[in-house]
Amino acid sequence: MIKSRRMRWAGHVARKEEWRSSYRILVGRSKGKRQFGRPRRRWEDNIKMNLCEVGCGGMDWFDLAQDRDMWRVL
């Protein structure tokens, strides 16, 4: 349930305008130094992992999300 809702939300945000804050948070990069150790997993990393599970790992998720019908099928 969590994975499907995460994918639905990511597709929704990917189709928004670039000036929206939710879009900038999803796509943007944080500034500053990161902590030592393993890097935390980002939303984008989770989305890519979910796409690998359904067999679309090599594709750009952002371009796939622009086609709403195709994104829903995935």
Give domain limits for the chain. Answer: 2-26+41-73
- What is the Cβ-side half-sphere exposure of residue 7, based on CA atoms within 13 angstroms? 21
Q: At what angle do helices 43-53 and 2-14 cross, to 10 degrees?
A: 110
Confidence band, pLDDT 50/70/90 cuts, at residue 60: confident
Model pTM?
0.69
The answer to whether the Cα torsion of 19, 21, 24, 27 is positive or negative is: negative
Which pLDDT score, from 0 to 100, does residue 47 have?
Answer: 86
- What is the rounded CA–CA span in Å between residue 52 and residue 48? 6
